Amino acid sequence: MNTASACRQLRTATTLGLVLVVAGCGLNTAPILDPKGPIALAERNLLFDAVGFMLIVIIPVFIMTFGFIWRYRASNKKARYDPEWSYNGPLDAVIWLVPALIIIILGVLSWINTYRLDPYKQLSSSVEAIEVEVIAQDWKWLFIYPEQNIAVVNELVFPSGTPLNLKITSDTVMNSFFIPALGGQIYAMAGMQTRLHLLANEPGSFVGKNMQYSGAGFADQYFEAIATSQADFDTWVEKVRQSPDQLDASAYSVLAKPSSKHPVTYYSAAEPGLFDNIVVKYSRNLGRPE
């Protein structure tokens, strides 16, 4: 294969790769790049900052790689051949100091944003937050609204512009709660309670999912997160309250059985303390020998 043919194939492969990347990372399939809330926006900007600093090394490496390939190709008889060369002080300093400086900068960014984006930190707002208790099951999500005394399966509805305070646990193996358009993921673990605070800037519908493999139904463990106006949220709450089903202990035991692609289900009332009871059910056994 001659040099011209190799270059044509390299250009073709590079173009095809870029097309595939752009097609596969559109905003519709990568909501992380199109945030709809302040938490997701801050996380995206942190991602861009980190990638930008890493490109200081990555771009020169690619340029030098292709430059070396071109300069020292077999057909270039003018390329300098210097087998005795082994050390260059300034070059060695650049090779070590620039990556070290980038690592320090990334470390500082991570340190600052770890505290700034603490998922347990409540969002400051003049609007009172809405509380939701989240229970991961096989293979669905249960959302309990203690203030409204309702419960919903696989649908999370809340007013836009209103902080969303989530208390999260699991009634099965470890899950990971994630709404990419609104903020980062956090684990749901049996016998433990984690917290996540989110906010949607405007009305919209977002995909929520489990990011931790949890068995046969994992691939279908999605839910819809819907940010609405306050009036539409109130209307939705009244709609749920019209459901003939109530989430008492008996109904919950049936719901907790493994099921895949579970339809959205409304419960007009939820047993008080259900979330805490599920946490305690597992925490009693934590640390106990087999």
Do 278 and 230 have their domain in common? yes
Task: Identify whether the C-beta of residue 57 lies closer than 8 Å to the C-beta of residue 102.
Answer: yes
30 vs 44: CA distance, rounded Å:
11
Task: Please indicate, yes or no, whether residues 166 and 256 belong to a single structural domain of this protein.
Answer: yes
| 230 lies in the same domain as 254 | yes
Residue 288 lies in a domain: no
Is 274 within the bounds of a domain? yes
Do 146 and 108 belong to one domain?
no
pLDDT at residue number 5: 54
- Identify the pLDDT of residue 87: 84
pLDDT in tens, 92-115: 898 899 889 999 999 999 999 989
Which residue range is the domain that position 138 belongs to?
130-283
For the ranges 6-20, 31-45, 161-175, the one whose mean pLDDT is highest: 161-175
Report yes or no on 29 lying in a domain.
Answer: no
Is the same domain home to 160 and 275?
yes
| Contact (Cβ atoms closer than 8 angstroms) between residue 266 and residue 240 | yes
Provide long-range contacts, Cβ within 8 A and 24+ apart, for 96-100. Answer: 98/56, 98/57, 99/57
Q: Which domain CATH number covers 195?
A: 2.60.40.420
Q: Is residue 11 part of a domain?
A: no
229 band by pLDDT with thresholds 50, 70 and 90: very high
Q: Which residues pair with 143 in a beta bridge?
A: 134, 152
| pTM for this prediction | 0.81
153 plus 195 within the same structural domain: yes
Write down the pLDDT at residue 81: 79
Q: Give 212's DSSP letter.
A: S
Answer whether residue 82 is part of any domain: no
